[in-house]
Structure 1
């Protein structure tokens, strides 16, 4: 089977949840089709330049990676023009002539069975591909992208920013639905998102979770909370600022020695919160697993976003107790013991209990790990990939 993956950013190095999901998809695809011939086109941007040295050797031997440098910097004039046309500026920034030429060259030299889009932002080439290829077009849906921007607009207090975010979400929604109806198959990472695709498109969709390995790393109960995520993703930035200003501030009054440990790329986006007492920014860390395991209870106070949150799954795979917002828990049929919070008061109450109850922390951690083992194994995911592509 010949397969072409197209992604708006490099899967390696793994700097955020999106890269992690892309890595797992590639591994599970290879497990499903060990003889597959895979070409992987990715866009190298200012924010995601890529590093071929970080591609794992066991992946490199199975995949031909093709990185194409482009600039996606926001151009004020182009952004202004997009206010008056019917195109999504979010997507247009990733549509470039050199990428189109490379994709057309690959399609002319190879008869691909499958073209798999790893992001809505790589979808700007679908019409060109459809014109010259008979391959099955597959979309790996990490989320419903326009819903992220809708949620951000709802939480924005500045009237001008609120209007612009709403404008971006409307344009993106229009493109997203058109794109989804041109695809042959949608592989959704989330059951909740898959339900949306089923109700709003005519394209066949199926739920294929992201796989996650179980890890045995001893968790430290050290009177701290932690979060890890990339802060160039606006929902992460929004979540941490809200959590520090609302929840952690009150928890600190009850637990004066409590610390909040925050790691992730682009931490410069949230440097203002590091000025708060007992809030520590670690920036990018080489081992997300070690960081999460060493820093107590994992919190995911997301207020906006879509899809399954990779760092939540990773924390559970380590046996670390997680306390989640309802948004962070979306799309997951979690065991009842795992705390899901609806508001500030919920977070304060549930975290206060856990900070005093080591045994309950361990029970929650174990329940999360068992949930991952049952629902997110590589064997299960690779079999689902085979079933969906053979149907």
Structure 2
């Protein structure tokens, strides 16, 4: 079986975001199930595809809103309003339909499509109707857009996110209705999309890398707590604002918190122990240098890859209940609370007595369940022919 995996940004091997980590895990699982997978989409500027022989590149684009100029943002908004597309999808309309169709024809034939999230599928929705498809819903995007609208700081942002929510809801409904099968990354997302039947959908438990994390008996602790993420993404920003505004004031002054990753302007903290460190060369080494990991999601849908990575590494954590969505197993060194004061006390207690666990069993259970779900979805497309790969 030959599948075309249609996605906004093709893998470049960096695994710099949760979206890219999830894509790598899903593509690897499809190939373990015996499918040949060709990926189609765009690259980031200056970052070539990691697997060029099995990738169709439509061009290089930068779709990040936070780093775009005001002129570019206005152009995207104008194109979205004129075209009836979402803001996220219109950014991918960098090439005409004819170029996409020609690229697909050169790389085919295909038995079916894997439509990876709504952004690319929404930008070129009519082009992938000639074959059966599987839809991968990384999040329930229309619910995330509603949350973003509620948290927006300006009327314009509220109106923009409100429009996104309305368009995304109808788009997600169409993609689910047309798909032979739907994969979600969290159990509650199946019901939110109206596809909770086992004949229509399954949850994909994820892992964060091709190999299990290397065992390291001794950790050098440089801070009490560490967080890393793309904080310019609105659901992540909502969680960070909750942590800085609600949890951090309850921490003792000497508690050291390091926060890494792309940071929007205006994010500050008066707590003397909070340090914003920007980009770090090794994300895994950064989190391993902390006594405890705060898992702070309070918005969005889908699964939190940082939670999975923390559990794979066996690191102590304090998590909101929202951070555990899509994860069935909670290790013994994870404390769950949504109360800010309790969250702060749990962080201090975990940092005082560090309790690492073996994360290998968690990873093995994730891979086993992931492969079973992938096989179930592929059965809806037809029998899978084993193919050799170079």
Alignment of 1:281-296 (within 5 A): 281-296=276-291
Q: Is the 8 A contact 1:154 1:162 kept in 2?
A: yes
CA distance in 1, matches of 2:179, 2:191: 16
1:373 aligns with 2:383: no
Which residue of structure 1 lines up, in the alignment, with residue 205 of structure 2? Answer: 209
Among 99, 102, 106, the residue aligned to 1:105: 102
2:264 is the alignment partner of 1:263: no
Does the Cα contact within 8 Å between 2:116 and 2:135 map onto a contact in 1? Answer: yes
User: Is the 1:10–1:49 contact (alpha carbons within 8 Å) kept by the matching residues of 2?
Assistant: no
1:299-314 alignment, distance < 5 Å? 299-314=294-309
Distance in structure 1 (CA, Å) of the matches to 2:172 and 2:197: 10
**Which stretches in structure 1 are left out of the alignment for 5+ residues?**
none
Distance 2:197 2:121 in 1: 16
Moved over 6 A (4+): 200-203
What is the total number of aligned residue pairs between the two structures? 365
Residue in structure 2 matching 1:329, options 324, 329, 332: 324
Does 1 or 2 have the higher relative contact order (CA < 8 Å, sep 6+)? Answer: 2
Structure 1 residues 306 and 65 mapped into 2: Cα distance closer, same or farther (>3 Å)? same
Q: Alpha-carbon deviation of 1:246? A: 2.5
2:28 corresponding residue in structure 1: 27
Does 2:314 align with 1:319?
yes
Distance 1:383 1:85 in 2: 40
What is the DSSP-based 3-state SS (H/G/I as helix, E as strand, rest coil) of the residue aligned with 1:296? strand
Q: Deviations over 1:155-205 (max 9, x none)?
A: 335455334322322222222222222222211122221232344899821
Instruction: State the SS of the aligned residue for 1:339.
Output: strand
- Give the Å deviation of 1:298: 0.9
The verdict on how the C-alpha distance between 1:115 and 1:50 changes in structure 2, with shifts beyond 3 A counting, is farther
- How far apart are 1:314 and its partner, in Å? 0.7
Residues 243 and 347 of structure 1: is their aligned pair in 2 closer, same or farther, counting only changes over 3 Å? same
Asked if the contact 1:10/1:50 (under 8 Å) is kept, the reply is no
Higher helix share: 1
CA shift digits 1:360-384 (9 cap, x unpaired): x33xx44xx266235312x442343
Looking at structure 2, the residues matched to 276 and 352 of structure 1 have their Cα atoms a distance apart, in angstroms, of 15
Q: Counterparts of 2:274 and 2:329 in 1: how far apart (Å)?
A: 29
**274 and 16 in structure 1: CA distance in 2 versus 1, 3 angstrom threshold:** farther
- Please, what is the CA RMSD of the aligned residues? 2.9
Cα 1:382/1:201, change in 2 over 3 Å: closer
Q: Quote the residue 2:117 is aligned against.
A: 119
1:166 equivalent in alignment to 2:157: no
Aligned partners of 2:284, 2:76: CA distance in 1, in Å? Answer: 40
- 2:339 matched residue in structure 1: 343
Counterpart position of 1:128: 127
Output the TM-score relative to the length of structure 2: 0.83
* Distance verdict in 2 for CA 1:290–1:343, change over 3 Å: same
Most deviating of 227-236 and 102-111: 102-111
- Separation in structure 2 between the aligned mates of residue 49 and residue 77 of structure 1, nearest angstrom: 20
- Partner deviation per Cα, 1:248-304 (whole Å, 9 max, x = no partner): 2320xx2x332111222x23x156427752222332333221111112211121221
TM-score, normalised by the number of residues in structure 1: 0.82
In structure 2, what is the equivalent of residue 42 of structure 1? Answer: 41
Alignment CA distance shift 1:51-1:87 (3 Å): closer
Q: Look up the SS of the partner of 1:51 in the other structure.
A: coil
Q: Which moved more, 1:321-330 or 1:194-203?
A: 194-203
Tell whether the 8 Å contact from 2:318 to 2:347 is kept in structure 1 after alignment. Answer: yes
- Structure 2 unaligned runs (5+)? 381-390
